[in-house]
């Protein structure tokens, strides 16, 4: 898959979910926007989990742990470049490694993710976990 295809297929979703890694807790508007974008992408909860764990967390987790990272908002262009570069390399052993260690890269935002997924499930008429 090439960079433009990645941006076309996932860019909007990645940028909508990125606020999960900011220093502030997402508000009602943030969650509503995330759900709106998620619903346009028509992904299952399981597929969303893998987007969170493999496509986003390795890049945004490093950003969150960095002393010089951005905490209030992201530079969308810079973030998109990092996400595309990561996802172009996300094959074979890298994919398996990130799957194995994804608990570490998601632990600081897991509570926010769980809240988002519960809201998505309610929106879809499913019973949240």
Q: pLDDT tens digits for 9-21?
A: 999 999 999 999 9
Q: How confident is the model over 25-81, as pLDDT tens digits?
A: 999 999 999 999 999 999 999 999 999 999 999 999 877 655 444 556 688 999 999
Place of tokens 């987007």: 51
- Could you write out the DSSP letters of every residue in 13-67? HHHHHGGGGSSSPP-HHHHHHHHHHHHHHT--HHHHHHIIIIIIHHHHHHHHH-T
Reported as half-sphere exposure (CB side, CA atoms, 13 A), residue 30 has a value of: 16
Q: What is the pTM of this model?
A: 0.87
């Amino acid at each position: 898959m090439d960079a433009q295809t990645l941006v076309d297929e996932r860019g909007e979703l990645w940028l909508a979910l990125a606020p999960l890694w900011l220093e502030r807790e997402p508000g009602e508007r943030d969650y509503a926007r995330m759900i709106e974008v998620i619903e346009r992408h028509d992904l299952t909860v399981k597929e969303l989990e893998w987007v969170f764990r493999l496509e986003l967390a390795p890049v945004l987790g490093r950003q969150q742990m960095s002393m010089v990272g951005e905490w209030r908002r992201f530079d969308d262009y810079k973030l998109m470049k990092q996400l595309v570069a990561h996802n172009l390399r996300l094959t074979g052993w890298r994919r398996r490694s990130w799957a194995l260690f994804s608990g570490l890269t998601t632990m600081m935002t897991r509570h926010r993710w769980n809240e988002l997924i519960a809201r998505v499930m309610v929106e879809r008429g499913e019973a949240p976990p």
